Amino acid sequence: MTERRTEARLSRLASAEALDRQPWPEHVNNGEEGDYPYVANYSKGLPHDEVGEVRPEAYNTLLRALATGRSEDFERIPLGRGVKLTNPQAGLAFELEGPDPQSLAVPPAPRIDSARNSAEAVELYWMALTRDIPFTEYDGHPLIAQAADELSRLSDYRAPKVDGRVTPATIFRGGTRGDLRGPFLSQFLLRDVQYGTLRIPQLHDTVRPDRDFLTDFDAWRAVQEGGSTPPIKRDHVNRRYLRNGRDMANYVHFDALYEAYLNAALILLDLNAPVDAGNPYRHSANQIGFGTYGPPHLLSLVTEVATRALKAMWFQKWYVHRRLRPEAFGGRIHAHLSGLRDYAMIDREVLDSEAVKLTYEKHGSYLLPQAFPEGSPTHPSYGSGHATVAGACVTVLKAWFDESWALPKPVVANAAGTALVPYTGGEALTVGGELDKVAANVATARNMGGVHWRSDFTESLLLGEAVGIGVLRDHVRVNHEDASFGLTRFDGRRVTI
> Mind telling me the catalytic residues?
379, 386
Yes or no: say if 66 and 318 are a contact pair by the CB < 8 Å rule: yes
* Alpha-carbon gap, residue 222 to 228, rounded angstroms: 8
* Alpha-carbon gap, residue 349 to 346, rounded angstroms: 9
Yes or no: say if 392 and 443 are a contact pair by the CB < 8 Å rule: no
For residue 109, CA distances in Å to 122, 174, 460 come to: 16, 18, 11
Burial of 224 (0-12, 13-18, 19+ CB in 10 A): buried
* Alpha-carbon gap, residue 205 to 241, rounded angstroms: 9
* Alpha-carbon gap, residue 370 to 213, rounded angstroms: 5
* Alpha-carbon gap, residue 72 to 448, rounded angstroms: 37
Biggest CA–CA distance in the chain, Å, is 76
Peptide bond into 450 cis (omega under 30): no
- For CA atoms 221, 254, 209, 357, give the dihedral sign: positive
- Strands 204-206 and 198-200, sheet pairing: unpaired
SS3 231: coil
Q: Which amino acid type is present at position 100?
A: D
For residue 29, CA distances in Å to 107, 287, 319, 326, 387 come to: 7, 51, 10, 18, 19
